[in-house]
Amino acid sequence: MRSLVRAASSAFSVSVRLRVISPWAYLNWFVFPLLFAAVGLYVLSRPGASGSHLVYGLLGGGLIGYWSVAYIDGGNGIQDERWNGTLEQIFGTPTPLFVIVLGKVCGGLLFGLLAFIPTAALAYFGFNAVFPNLDAWRFVISLGVLTLTFFCIALTLTPLFALWRWAFSMINGFELGVYVLCGFMFPIAVLTPWLQGFAAVLAPTWAVKALYASTLAEGPHDFVAWWLLAGALSLAYMVAAYFLYMLVEREARVSGQLALA
Amino acid sequence: MRRLAAEVGVFGRSTYLQYVALFQWASIRGYIAYKVLLPVTQILFFVELGVYASGRQNALYFALGNAMQLTANAGIFGVIATVANERQYGTLPILLASPANRAVTFLSRAFVNVIDGILTVAVGLGIAVVLFGLDLHHANFPLLAFCVVLISLTTAGLGLMFGSIGLVMRDAIIIANVVYYVLLIVCGINFPVSRLPGVIQLVSYSLPLTRGVQAARDAAAGASFGHVAGLMAGELLVGALWALGGYLLFRLLESWARRGGLQEAY
C-alpha cells in the first residue's frame, strides 16, 4: 500500500512540475477562465441586473477553468505518455496504471482550482461582485463534492481518450455544451426541459447547483440530496472506468496495440 | 498573361495542398466535432447566458453576434493552424525554399478558411434560427450574406497576421485560442462596445468583426446597403490592413527564421 501511495505521489509531483513549465497549463487555468469570466461578468452585469446574476459571473469563470483543466489535462493522462513515448515504460512498471493516472489527475485538479483566483479577482475588483449570502461550510463541502465529480470524470475519460482518439475531439468540440448542461454560468432552469433531462445525468450539474445555492438566499437548498446525487453519479462513472481500464490493460499488454490506437 | 496564369496555378495548387495536408478536422468525426458541435454549443451557451441576463426577447442579439464570430473559428484558428502545422509537420523549410511568389502562397493559406468560415456561419446561424425560433422576417438577406463573406475575409486577415508568428513560435495555436476568445470580449459580440473602457474601445475598432457584426445586426433588422456602407468599408479596410501587416511580418520573420535556422526549432 505504501508503495502505491509513493507511486501516486510521484506521479502527482511530476505532473505538477510539468504543468509549471507548460504554456498550455497557463492558458487553461489562467487566460481561458479569465476571458470567459470577463464576457460573463459584462453580460450578467447589464444595467438593472439582479445581484444574484453577478454570482454566476463570479464563480462561472473559475468553474469553466476548473473543468477545462480537469478534462483536458486529467483526461489526457495516458495520451500524454503516448505522445512522449513513455507509455511502454509505464506499462512495464509493477504499479497499476490506475495509480499513476490517479496521481496525475490530482495534479491537474490542483491546477484547476487555481482558476478561481484570477476570475474572483476580476469579479471583485472589476465589477464589485461579492457573495451576497455565503454559507461557508456548505460552500466548502459543495466544492469538495464538485472536485470529486471532476476527479471521477477525469479518471473515466483518461482510458476513453486513450482507446478512441476521436473521443477527445468530440468532447473538446462539445466543451461549451458542458458549460450549458452543468450550469456553470447560469442556472439550468433556463434551459428547455429536454436539455435539463440531459443535464440531470451529469454529476457536476448537482454539485454546481449546491455550490451556487450555498452563496444565494433565494431558491431551493436541498444540499444533501444534491450531494448524494452527485456522489452516486460519480460512482456510476467509476464503474464504467473500471471496465475501460481493463480494456486499456488488454490493448496494451495482451494485444500490444494501444500505442497504435 | 502567362505569368499571371502561372501565379494562379501556384495559388490553386497551394490552396489544394494545404487543404488536403493541413486541415486536421477534415474527417467526418473532426468536422462534426469542430464544425458542428463547437459552433452550435458556442451559440447555445452565449444565447442562454444572454437570455438569463436580459430576457428571451434579446436572443437574436446574442445568436447573431456569436454566429458572426464563428468566422473567427476558421479565420483565426484555421489560418494560424495552417502555418503552425507546416512547421510541426516539418514542411516549412521546403515551403520557404521554394521560389514561388510569397504573396500568392501567403494568401492561399486563407482561401479555404474563408470558405469554411462562411459555411460555419451558415450552419451555426441556421441551427440557432431553428433552436431559438429567431425572427428574421425583416432581414435583408443578401446584405446579411454579404456581411458574412466580408467578415470571413477580414478575420482571415487577422489570422494571417498571427499565423506569421507561427514561423518562429512553437505553440502558435495558443495565440489562436487567446485571440479567438478576446474577440468575444472586445468586438461587441455579446454586449455593446460602448460598455468597455475607452482604451479598449480603441482596440475594438482596430480589429475586424466590430464593424462587421454591427452591419450584420443592422442587415438583420432590415437596413439597406447604403445604411451600412460606411461600416462595411471600415471593416474591409481594417481586414486589409491586418492582412498587409501579416504579409510584411511573414517576410520579416521568414528572413529571421532562415538566418537563425528557426524553421526547424520545435
Question: Could you tell me which residue, B235 or A169, shows the higher pLDDT?
Answer: B235
- Residue A24 CB-density burial (10 A; 0-12 exposed, 13-18 middle, 19+ buried): middle
Phi-psi region of B15 (alpha: psi -120 to 50; beta: other; left: phi over 0): alpha
Residue A143, pLDDT above cutoff 80? yes
Provide long-range contacts, Cβ within 8 A and 24+ apart, for A242-250: A244/A156, A244/A159, A244/A160, A244/A163, A245/A97, A245/A98, A245/A159, A247/A159, A247/A163, A248/A78, A248/A97, A248/A159, A248/A162, A248/A163, A249/A97
Residues of B in contact with A176 (CB under 8 A): 38, 41-42, 44-45
Share of chain B above pLDDT 90, in %: 38
Interface of A with B in 22-41 (CB under 8 A): 23-24, 27, 31-32, 35-36, 38-40
- Indicate the residue of B42, B182, B191 with minimum beta-carbon distance to A42: B191
Residues of A in contact with B48 (CB under 8 A): 180, 186, 190-191
Residue A23, pLDDT above cutoff 80? yes
Share of chain A above pLDDT 70, in %: 97
- pTM for the model: 0.88
Q: How confident is the model at residue B136 (pLDDT cuts 50, 70, 90)?
A: confident
DSSP characters for chain B? Answer: -HHHHHHHHHHHHHHHHHHHHH-TT-SHHHHIIIIIIHHHHHHHHHHHHHHHHH-GGGHHHHHHHHHHHTHHIIIIIIHHHHHHHHHHTT-HHHHHHS-S-HHHHHHHHHHHHHHHHHHHHHHHHHHHHHHHT---TT--HHHHHHHHHHHHHHHHHHHHHHHHHTTT-TTHHHHHHHHHHHHHHHSSSSS-GGGS-HHHHHHHHTSSSHHHHHHHHHHHTT--HHHHHHHHHHHHHHHHHHHHHHHHHHHHHHHHHHHHTGGG--
pLDDT score, position A35: 94
pLDDT score, position B263: 65
Mutation for A interface: B48, B73, B184, B191, most A CBs within 10 A: B48
Instruction: Provide the CA B91 distance to its chain's centre, in angstroms.
Output: 24
Among B13-27, B140-154, B208-222, name the one with the lowest average pLDDT.
Answer: B13-27
pLDDT score, position A251: 77
Section A19-48 average pLDDT: 89
pLDDT score, position B17: 76
Residue B266, pLDDT above cutoff 60? no
- Residue B177, chain A, CB below 8 Å: the answer is yes
For A42, the domain range is: 2-260
- Indicate the residue of B36, B45, B177 with minimum beta-carbon distance to A180: B45
Could you report the predicted ipTM of this complex, rounded to two decimals?
Answer: 0.90
Residue with cell 471521477: A152
Interface of B with A in 95-134 (CB under 8 A): none
User: How many domains, chain A?
Assistant: 1
Compute the mean pLDDT over every residue in chain B, rounded to the nearest whole number: 85
Using the beta-carbon criterion (under 8 Å), do A32 and B181 form an inter-chain contact? yes
Contacts A–B by Cβ distance under 8 A: 99
Q: What is d(CA A42, CA B103) in angstroms, rounded to the nearest whole number? A: 40
Using the beta-carbon criterion (under 8 Å), do A176 and B38 form an inter-chain contact? yes
- Residue B184, chain A, CB below 8 Å: the answer is yes
Q: How confident is the model at residue B56 (pLDDT cuts 50, 70, 90)?
A: confident
- Helix, strand, or coil here: A5? helix
Residues of A in contact with B44 (CB under 8 A): 176-177, 180
Q: What is the pLDDT of residues A39-56, one digit of tens each?
A: 999 999 877 777 778 889
- Residue A179, chain B, CB below 8 Å: the answer is yes
- Indicate the residue of A42, A53, A190 with minimum beta-carbon distance to B51: A190
Q: What is the pLDDT of residues A65-121, one digit of tens each?
A: 999 988 887 778 787 777 777 877 877 788 888 888 889 889 889 989 999 999 999
Compute the mean pLDDT over every residue in chain A, rounded to the nearest whole number: 88
CA-based nearest residue in chain A for residue B29: A166
Using the beta-carbon criterion (under 8 Å), do A39 and B182 form an inter-chain contact? no
Q: How confident is the model at residue B171 (pLDDT cuts 50, 70, 90)?
A: confident
Using the beta-carbon criterion (under 8 Å), do A31 and B178 form an inter-chain contact? yes
- Helix, strand, or coil here: A246? helix
Q: What is the pLDDT of residues B173-205, one digit of tens each?
A: 888 889 999 999 999 999 999 999 989 999 999
Which of B102, B149, B122 lies closest to B7, judged by CA? B102
